[in-house]
Each structure stands twice: as C-alpha cells, then as structure tokens.
Amino acid sequence: MTTREGSLEAPTRHPLDWKNPQFYDKADLEAEMERVFDLCHGCRRCVSLCGSFPTLFDLVDATEDLEMEQVDKADYQKVVDQCYLCDVCYMTKCPYVPPHPWNIDFPHLMLRAKAVNFKDDKATFRDKLLSSTDKLGHFAGIPIVTQAVNAVNSTGLARLVMEGALGVDKNAWIPEYAPKTFPQLAKKSDAWPVVDGVKTPGKVAIYATCYINYNEPGIGQDLIKVLKHNQIPYELVDKEACCGMPKLELGDLESVAENKEKNIPKLAKLAREGYAILTPIPSCTLMFKQELPLMFPDCADTQLVKEAMWDPFEYFMARNSDGLLKKDFSKELGHVSYHMACHSRVQNVGQKTAETLKLIPGTEVNVVERCSGHSGTWGVKKEFHETAMKIGKPVFKRMAEEEPNYISSDCQLAGHHIEQGMEELGLPKSEMAHPLTLLAKAYGL
C-alpha cells in the first residue's frame, strides 16, 4: 500500500501524552526519533528554518551509506539542542503532520526529548535559572535594586563573568529590569459601559506576562492607553504566575503544571464572566491557546481559557469588524518594517498586527515572516548566540529595506535581537518600538 505524498487536510494536533510513563521511556523515544528523523532526511523541506535540520542532515550525510540508522543515537541530542520550539516547521513546512498517517510532530518530539533530559537531571543550573522568569523578576519594582542590577549587567566585566559562570553570551542583548512593575504603574479602569460586539466581548482582562510586568511595563501601559481611548473597560489578572513557556522549552513539564494551577482558575473565572483575555507577548498567548490545552485536554477550565484568549491585535481587528474600533488616528507612522514573530504565526489568525497598522493613514507596512533566531532564553546562551544571529541575518536585512521609520515585532525580545543584528551588520538605524506602542502613538496618546 502506497502512502500518499503530503496532506490536503488542515493540520491537527494530538494531545501531549506527558503523564504516560512510556513518554519518558528512552528506548521508545529513540525509536520514534529515528523514525521521524529518517522521514525528515528523505524530505529536507525544513533545512532553512533553524539549526535542528541542518544538524540532522549533516549527521546523516556523514554516515558511510547516507542512512539514518547509521547515526549514533548519542548524537540525537545535538538535534534536540538546536530546537527552540518555534513550531514553524509544523505549521508552515511539514507535509506529513497529522492527519497524515506518518504523523510527524517534530516540535513535540523535541519537547518529549527535552522532558526526558530534564527528568534525567541533565538540565544545567544556567538553564533552570534563565527559565525562572518569576524569580528573576523579583529584581524589578525596587528602584535602587534595579538601578544596581542594570548597572552591573551593562558592564563588560560583569558580562564576561556572566559568560564564564552561567554561559550567557557576553555579546547577547539581555533585558533590563524596570524600576516599577506594570501592576505598580497600571491605573484602574474607568467605569465605561460594556459594549459587546458580534465577534468581541466588550471588556478585557490583561494577562501582562513576565516580560511586561518586570522588564518593559511601558508596553502594557500602551495597551491600556489604547483600551482607554476605545473606552473598553479592563481588569488586570491578579497575581499572575509565568505562563510556563520558558519551563516548557526546558522540558520541565511539572513546573508548567504548577504554574497552570496558579493561573487557570483565575483566568477561567474571568472567561466565565465574559472577559476577552489579552496577552501582549505572543509566546504567552500561544501557551494558553495551544500548549496548555494539549497538555491538559480533559481540563474544562483550560479549554475555556483557550477560547477566551486573544492576541491584542486579533482582538482589535475583530473589534474593527464589529464597527467598534476607533480610527481617529492623529499621527502617521510612515514606513514600518514589521516582523511577524514565530509564535504569532503559529496561532493561525493571520497578520492581524499588520492589518491594524495598515488602518493608520500615511503608514506603509513591510511584513517580514521569517524567524529572527532569538526565541527567548535560547538565543542568549553562549553555545547558541552566534547561530541565533546567523538565523536572523536574512531578517535583519529585510527589516532594513527602504530605511523604515520604525522596526517592530510583537515579540519584543525578537525586536531587540533584530535591532542588535541590524547594528552589527552596519545597516541604517531605525527606531524600534512594539506594535502596541506604535498604535498608541498613532492615536496621539
């Protein structure tokens, strides 16, 4: 019986069977990796996406007979280490994802391998520390502490020490901590009437994310400005925990579950009360829209939160379709080079940020849909930073085309990474701003 080439059906995702003991069986994992790797070797469509696929194909090409079965299983880890769970291979390249009978889900296979490594206590202190965003965020909100930490982190000597002790590349951009956190700055919403649309709830709950809370609360403030301008009442999620994405990327699934237990009851309550839940960072949105629902398919509250979770610009464009988004823009933005982050692309909602920015008169948007190479904590590590810059080089060049007034990405980490890459290539400098900041600016706020 011949298996058809490719698939015409929409891709589907199987739940992650992470509580099954077989999930952590190393022999079973290696057998599945060999099966999938052999199919990938025969296709090679994904070679340009990230470091995992060139690494895999180089291993096969180095064997005597160019066969996957001759690759040392110990070398499989080299492929796993290069995967940062961007999900783009699954969503945009692989013709063999389920429901195709070959049933390839490369990112979740890599996640399984990372989970086995973590369970075998192979995660480093560095990796555990970098993924503990809530704990690191304790530096934020105390002005004298943040000033001291930021000053130390910006010195060349400190970065050398950090590279030697933690393996954080001395040249990689790392975020500063804010002297005041987002909850400290955010003002209570005015009591506007709730105006529901056909597509959109008329009130919003903001799940701010670790990055907005601790590093750049101004982005969250810009979201509030836009909501206020549109007279949309909002609430802040009370005492939110990390979404769990950094721990997921590490393979620490038990910590993901612990954070889920902190977040989901609060978010589910808001969902039942009719709130649209907005998250300003796409990785966090994706966590609640995809990864947690796949980890907890039988949890009704998790599935409820999935349905209530919105990317901010997905919400604004739906609000526009409802005829309820104000378009009284007072400032033109000129030429904007907009990078669509991987975790925005795989939400499968389209180019909602670009569509929103195109509503602004006197604004031209150049959309760049390609991985910037950063991907959270992965791109700052000494062993991967050079690769992250190499992956991002085509993006850096595309973003600089026509010397834009602004460069922007929904993923602010990617935005800073792109800004650094453009500078290192000697490309013309443009102001970097998050799309929410650009939207607030266009409103004149």
- Phi and psi, residue 44, nearest 5°: 65, 25
Higher pLDDT, 239 or 1: 239
**Close Cβ partners of 20 (under 8 Å, ≥ 6 residues apart):** none
Average pLDDT of the chain? 89
Report, as an integer, the average pLDDT of 397-407. 94
pLDDT digits (tens, 9 = 90+) for 176-233: 888 888 999 999 999 999 999 999 999 999 999 888 988 899 999 999 999 999 999 9
Is the model's pLDDT at 375 over the cut of 90? no
| DSSP bridge partners of 99 | none
- What would the DSSP string read from start to end of 267-310? HHHHHHTTPEEE-SSHHHHHIIIIIHHHH-TT-HHHHHHHHHEE
Domain ranges of the chain: 21-120, 125-166, 182-319, 329-443
CA–CA gap between residue 257 and residue 238 (Å, rounded): 19
The fraction of the chain above a pLDDT of 70, given in percent, is 91
Helices 143-153, 156-166: inter-axial angle, 10-degree rounding? 80
CATH number of 329-443: 3.40.50
Is the model's pLDDT at 424 over the cut of 90? yes
pLDDT at 115: 94
CA–CA gap between residue 294 and residue 302 (Å, rounded): 9
Whether the Cβ atoms of residue 288 and residue 243 lie closer than 8 Å to each other:
yes
Most confident of 134-148, 342-356, 365-379: 342-356
pLDDT digits (tens, 9 = 90+) for 250-286: 899 999 999 999 999 999 999 999 999 999 999 999 9
CA–CA gap between residue 368 and residue 370 (Å, rounded): 6
pLDDT at 158: 67
CA–CA gap between residue 118 and residue 126 (Å, rounded): 13
Whole-angstrom CA distances from 7 to 16, 32, 193, 297 are 22, 21, 48, 25
Amino acid in position 367: V
Is the model's pLDDT at 317 over the cut of 80? yes
pLDDT at 309: 96
